[in-house]
């Protein structure tokens, strides 16, 4: 039986302890199952240059539903003045075939958006906080505190109407304006969102600058304030670090991962650079680790191929790229 050697600092003494390996992966405990939250149709398409018609969005979401994804972020009830890609929000919401057992959260930045979302049939909404003041100001034109007060309104209304709310925290590992973001600040914002009723908080590495070191530090701080079962990670692959970041998050007990089919959604802060991590690549890694996701990788890749063709762009998923040249070997 392999033993995993770790060092525990007790005062100034170095105490070496051994304990049996509990999982295949270098002795680190990994979840048996991971819930994948597919953000391609919203976060992905919102950040693509090309706007696709409602029927393409609907077809994409329906294909994703068939691929076994348990949560698919469908659209955003934000003003089309700011996000024209999401102008067909109502049509999309009403047009998709809602598969039983699948959740279709939608973004609602304020009460107005919330009300429109519920009217269009939404049963779950999402609100977006930030761990950086400058980012909050530039993104939604108010301070972090002001944004949290707006969200309190949405959360209250959602509770009254039995609508679930998911919270997001942006800039958890760095801000395009402020640079480094203190883990304590991330924890504070996550705690507020959780306290106001968000059932889950997704921690977003908005610019993809994070590395496993920063991820560990940040999660340690957040786990003190929010139960780990209520946490998710939303990693961007702009610097190629996403899968490594997700791996350490899993090792720290996280079991919900956001990702985007075909890696849709570039990075608005580094024009032309990649953004969201590709769902295909995440699922490939998770399956290779023996973690269940319920996702059919082949069907997922079909959905990715479909949307890339519609967008007239190449996939950002390496698994999809490799598979287009050979049969997928899963080891």
Rounded-to-integer distance, Cα 126 and Cα 166, Å = 5
**Straight-line distance from the first to the last Cα atom of the chain, in angstroms, rounded to the nearest whole number:** 23
Q: Considering 198, 235, 267, 308, which one is annotated as catalytic?
A: 267
Q: Which is nearer to another protein, 92 or 173 (CB)?
A: 173
What's the distance, CA 280 to chain centroid? 14
Considering the complex, what minimum distance in angstroms separates the CB of residue 91 from another protein? 33
142 catalytic residue (yes or no): no
Q: Which is nearer to another protein, 62 or 217 (CB)?
A: 217
Positions that interact with another protein (CB under 8 A): 2-4, 6-9, 15-20, 22, 24-29, 208, 210-214, 216, 220, 237-241, 243-244, 246-248, 251-253, 267, 269-274, 278, 281, 284-285, 287-290, 317-319, 321-322, 324-326, 329-331
Q: Which is nearer to another protein, 62 or 239 (CB)?
A: 239
Q: Which is nearer to another protein, 73 or 281 (CB)?
A: 281
Q: Which is nearer to another protein, 312 or 330 (CB)?
A: 330
Rounded to 5 degrees, what are φ and ψ at 245?
-65, -40
Rounded-to-integer distance, Cα 157 and Cα 240, Å = 39
Half-sphere CA count of 100, side-chain side, radius 13 A: 0
Q: For residue 258, what are the CA distances in angstroms to 114, 139, 218, 317?
A: 22, 21, 17, 15
Q: What does DSSP say about strands 106-107 and 124-130: parallel, antiparallel, or unpaired?
A: parallel
Rounded-to-integer distance, Cα 104 and Cα 122, Å = 7
Q: Which is nearer to another protein, 35 or 287 (CB)?
A: 287
Considering the complex, what minimum distance in angstroms separates the CB of residue 200 from another protein? 21
Rounded to 5 degrees, what are φ and ψ at 131?
-95, 5
Rounded-to-integer distance, Cα 316 and Cα 330, Å = 19
Considering the complex, what minimum distance in angstroms separates the CB of residue 150 from another protein? 30
Tokens matching residue 50: 């090309």
Residue pair 295/303 in contact (Cβ under 8 Å)? The answer is no
In the block, residue with structure tokens 């393409």: 56
- C-alpha R_g of the chain: 20
Active site amino acids? 267
């Amino acid at each position: 039986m392999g033993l995993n050697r770790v060092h525990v600092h007790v005062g100034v003494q170095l105490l070496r302890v051994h304990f049996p390996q509990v999982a295949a992966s270098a002795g680190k405990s990994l979840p048996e199952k991971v819930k994948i939250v597919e953000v391609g149709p919203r976060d992905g398409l919102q950040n693509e240059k090309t706007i696709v018609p409602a029927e393409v969005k609907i077809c994409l979401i329906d294909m994703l539903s068939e691929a076994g994804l348990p949560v698919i972020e469908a659209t955003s009830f934000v003003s089309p003045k700011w996000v024209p890609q999401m102008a067909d929000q109502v049509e999309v919401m009403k047009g998709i075939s809602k598969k039983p057992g699948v959740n279709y959260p939608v973004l609602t930045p304020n009460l107005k958006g919330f009300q429109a979302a519920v009217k269009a049939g939404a049963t779950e909404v999402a609100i977006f906080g930030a761990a950086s003041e400058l980012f909050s100001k530039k993104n939604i034109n108010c301070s972090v505190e002001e944004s949290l007060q707006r969200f309190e309104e949405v959360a209250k209304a959602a509770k009254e109407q039995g609508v679930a709310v998911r919270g997001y925290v942006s800039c958890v590992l760095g801000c395009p304006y402020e640079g480094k973001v203190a883990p304590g600040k991330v924890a504070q914002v996550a705690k507020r969102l959780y306290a106001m009723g968000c059932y889950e908080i997704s921690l977003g590495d908005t610019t993809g600058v994070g590395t496993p070191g920063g991820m560990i530090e940040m999660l340690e701080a957040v786990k003190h304030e929010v139960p780990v079962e209520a946490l998710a990670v939303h990693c961007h692959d702009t610097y190629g670090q996403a899968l490594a970041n997700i791996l350490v998050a899993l090792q720290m007990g996280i079991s919900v991962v956001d990702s985007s089919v075909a890696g849709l959604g570039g990075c608005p802060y580094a024009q032309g650079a990649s953004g969201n991590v590709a769902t295909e690549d995440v699922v490939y890694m998770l399956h290779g680790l023996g973690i269940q996701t319920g996702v059919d990788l082949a069907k997922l890749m079909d959905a990715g191929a479909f949307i890339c063709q519609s967008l007239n762009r190449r996939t950002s998923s390496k698994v999809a790229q490799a598979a287009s040249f050979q049969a997928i070997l899963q080891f």
